[in-house]
Amino acid sequence: RNMQVIESSPTKDGKHLRLRGSCNGKHFWCIGFNMGNEIYTHGSFIDIAFNLELNEYNNTKDVSLIIRDIHRH
């Protein structure tokens, strides 16, 4: 709840939403599959339902939030 949008844009193919947000002082990368038509303004607040996904690339682990549902404030 109460995630502040840092940046929001569709993926290169326009199908999916790529969003970076901040909540409780922590920053998260989020992806919303088939949500490419949704754009959220920098600084706005949203509530999201998500699943966590652990990504590993070049021995670096990172957590992504896979958006299941999203609501504007």
State pLDDT tens for residues 14-69: 999 999 999 999 999 999 999 999 889 999 999 999 999 888 878 888 888 999 99
Question: How many angstroms separate the CA atoms of 17 and 72, rounded?
Answer: 15
Question: How many angstroms separate the CA atoms of 6 and 26, rounded?
Answer: 11
pLDDT at 70 over 90: yes
pLDDT at 8 over 90: yes
Tokens coding 72:
């504007």
8, 14 contact by CB (below 8 A) = no
